[in-house]
């Protein structure tokens, strides 16, 4: 038989299965190469699930509980960020003036880092948990002691802390919108910015946060006061990077769906946001999932920290507000949180929609679908054209055509509203008021319709709660 002759039938029978296997193998490889990747597998721990969208899921750790193996096992398994519940506070780290003690703080810090977790620092300047020597100081001596404390603690952890709560709980509860009275406040209203400037100098690598409670509801005076402070700091260049929302929800301070608005509006000022001490009286699964989804909806929301592991570890254990039962088993709220984290990712780009005036029933419209920078906005009968589709971005821009922004050409009453190429300026950022107003971040004035007919102008004007300043987004 010549070398080019076909193999005999017996040989063909032998190699046929081999050939088929080879072809099947090659096809399998090709199929694997062209098949879409499998859907992202759901993660089975809170930290890993949050990490899918670049966020963390953290927990407050008490040093003296780390010897409890149930506690340490859950904490290590589920969370990838740690806050010391009490150990980095002023009384713990500087019990005597000038004598720093990091024994307990380092126990928490080292445990976190050895287990691959990031650390939030909590907290440097606070009216509460001051050591006796600090409580008895006032005026310039207290001011200097605050600065020395910031320098001492931040030097110890320089380059090691992801976020520091530089100032904690400086605003009063209730409807005043005032600062909380405290020995620190009595050193002068500028104590907060002094603390932030000292902190930036002490450790330029840490994100510097202002942290407070009862500031989650956008309509509350305390929230608005904190917002005004952060806006002022950003305008004047006071170094602030993030705002922590403690989120201790209970019947006196219940979760409200406008928390997402709050997070968005702060993010639009140019700061990161974080949920820093979450616990919910009764641990409603729905409310826990809502909070997670609110954070996931805001690209500048860095992550969520719950204030303890099991209910029995909580400062409010009677409220059973956490994700684990006393025996370490998972509560329904745990599953709700995990599912929300697994379902979420970073915010998809916002879809456009119309913005309809309450007085006119007409929509914000770019005349003749113009695209030139400076084209003045009008009211017009609502339709589905692209010149009426406005997308609210996480930064607070209202974008049309993808790259043009609703732009205030001034800051005073009567300032013209136009489209302009998006460039990140505060005159292109807007905050959605709970009453339907659209407020310019730079001016603090409202989007105001001058008339109700087709072609009516839109301008900035002092907010009045009038129907010509109320808008609904579809
Ligand atoms: O460790 C001592 C113990 O030796 C002593 O026998 C006992 C007697 O009262 O006190 C123990 O210290 C307590 C400490 O927690 C540790 O458990 C303090 O009294 C108690 O005041 C302290 O409470 C802490 C509270 O801050 C103080 O303001 C809570 O654990 C802590 O969860 C809580 O955390 C704060 C955040 O820092 C800021 N936001 C609000 C949040 C809840 O209040």
What is the pLDDT at residue 434? 80
277 lines ligand 1 (CB under 6 A): yes
On the question of pLDDT at 236 being above 70, the answer is yes
Q: List pLDDT tens digits, range 359-387.
A: 999 999 999 988 888 999 999 999 988 89
CA distances, 445 to each of 366, 430, 432, 471 (Å): 21, 10, 12, 14
Q: From CA 220, how far away is CA 427, in angstroms rounded?
A: 25
On the question of pLDDT at 37 being above 50, the answer is no
What is the pLDDT at residue 158? 98
Domains of the chain: 46-342 (3.20.20.80), 355-473 (2.80.10.50)
What is the pLDDT at residue 40? 55
What is the pLDDT at residue 385? 82
Please state whether the predicted TM-score (pTM) of the whole model is above 0.85. Answer: no
Closest ligand 1 atom to Cα of 89: 37
85, 193, 277, 397: the active-site residue: 277
What is the pLDDT at residue 344? 54
Closest ligand 1 atom to Cα of 315: 32
- Helices 139-156 and 191-202: crossing angle, nearest 10°? 30
100 lines ligand 1 (CB under 6 A): no
Residue 352: pLDDT band (50, 70, 90) is: confident
Q: Determine which residue's CA is closest to atom 16 belonging to ligand 1.
A: 86
CB 171, CB 178: distance < 8 Å: yes
86 lines ligand 1 (CB under 6 A): yes
pLDDT > 70: what percent of the chain? 89
What is the pLDDT at residue 4? 36
Distance, CA 437 to ligand 1 centroid (Å)? 41
Mean pLDDT of the chain: 90
Mutate to test the pocket of ligand 1, among 315, 318, 321 (most ligand atoms within 8 A of CB): 315
Residue 442: pLDDT band (50, 70, 90) is: confident
315 lines ligand 1 (CB under 6 A): yes
87 lines ligand 1 (CB under 6 A): no
Structure tokens at 75: 């904490």
Q: Based on the number of CB atoms within 10 Å of its own CB, is 98 exposed (0-12), middle (13-18) or buried (19 or more)?
A: exposed
What is the pLDDT at residue 28? 43
319 lines ligand 1 (CB under 6 A): no
Q: Determine which residue's CA is closest to atom 30 belonging to ligand 1.
A: 315
Q: Count of CB atoms within 10 A of residue 321's CB?
A: 25
The alpha carbon of residue 384 and the mean position of all alpha carbons in its chain are separated, in whole angstroms, by 32
Q: List pLDDT tens digits, range 184-207.
A: 999 999 999 999 999 999 999 999
- Give alpha helix (H) positions in 269-410: 285-296, 332-343
Whether 277 is a known active-site residue: answer yes
Distance, CA 446 to ligand 1 centroid (Å)? 44
246 lines ligand 1 (CB under 6 A): yes
The CA-based diameter of the chain, rounded to the nearest angstrom, is: 109
Task: Please give the residue that has the higher pLDDT: either 371 or 167.
Answer: 167
Residues 6+ apart with CB under 8 A from 81: 47, 56, 57, 58, 59, 112, 117, 118, 119, 120, 162, 303, 305
What is the pLDDT at residue 394? 76
What is the pLDDT at residue 38? 43
Cross-strand partners of 60: 83
């Amino acid at each position: 038989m010549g070398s080019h002759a076909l193999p005999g039938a017996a040989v063909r029978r032998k190699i046929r299965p081999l050939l088929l296997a080879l072809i099947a193998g090659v096809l399998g490889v090709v199929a694997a190469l062209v098949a879409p990747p499998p859907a992202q597998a759901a993660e089975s721990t809170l930290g890993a699930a949050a990490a899918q969208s670049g966020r963390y899921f953290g927990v407050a750790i008490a040093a003296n509980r780390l010897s409890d193996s149930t506690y340490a096992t859950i904490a290590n398994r589920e969370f990838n960020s740690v806050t010391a519940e009490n150990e980095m506070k002023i009384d713990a780290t500087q019990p005597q003036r000038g004598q720093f003690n990091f024994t307990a703080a380092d126990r928490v810090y080292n445990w976190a880092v050895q287990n691959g977790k990031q650390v939030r620092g909590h907290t440097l300047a606070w009216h509460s948990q001051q050591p006796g020597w600090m409580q008895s100081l006032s005026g310039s001596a207290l001011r200097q002691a605050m600065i020395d404390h910031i320098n001492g603690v931040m030097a110890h952890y320089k380059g090691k802390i992801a976020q520091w709560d530089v100032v904690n709980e400086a605003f009063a509860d209730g409807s005043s919108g005032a600062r909380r009275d405290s020995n620190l406040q009595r050193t002068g209203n500028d104590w907060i910015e002094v603390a932030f400037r000292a902190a930036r100098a002490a450790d330029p690598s840490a994100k510097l946060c202002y942290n407070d409670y009862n500031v989650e509801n956008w309509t509350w005076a305390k929230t608005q006061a904190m917002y005004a402070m952060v806006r002022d700091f950003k305008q004047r260049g006071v170094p602030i990077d993030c705002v922590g929302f403690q989120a201790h929800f209970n019947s006196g301070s219940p979760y409200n769906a406008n928390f997402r608005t709050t997070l968005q509006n702060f993010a639009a000022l140019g700061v990161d946001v974080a949920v820093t001490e979450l616990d919910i009286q009764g641990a409603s699964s729905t409310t826990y999932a809502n909070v997670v989804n609110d954070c996931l909806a805001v690209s500048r929301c860095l992550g969520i920290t719950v204030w303890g592991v099991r209910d029995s570890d909580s400062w409010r254990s009677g409220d059973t507000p956490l994700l684990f039962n006393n025996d370490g088993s998972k509560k329904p709220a745990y599953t709700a949180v995990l599912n929300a984290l697994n379902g979420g990712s970073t915010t998809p780009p916002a879809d456009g929609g119309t913005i309809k005036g309450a007085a006119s029933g007409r929509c914000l419209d770019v005349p003749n679908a113009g695209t030139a920078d400076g084209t003045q906005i009008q009211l017009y009968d609502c339709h589905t054209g692209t010149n009426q589709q406005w997308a609210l971005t996480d930064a607070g821009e209202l974008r049309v055509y993808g790259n043009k922004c609703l732009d205030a050409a001034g800051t005073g009453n009567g300032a013209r509203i136009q489209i302009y190429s998006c460039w990140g300026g505060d005159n292109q950022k807007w905050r959605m008021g709970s009453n339907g107003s659209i407020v310019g971040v730079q001016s603090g004035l409202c989007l105001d319709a001058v008339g109700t007919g087709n072609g009516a102008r839109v301008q900035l004007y002092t907010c009045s709660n009038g129907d010509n300043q109320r808008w609904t987004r579809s």
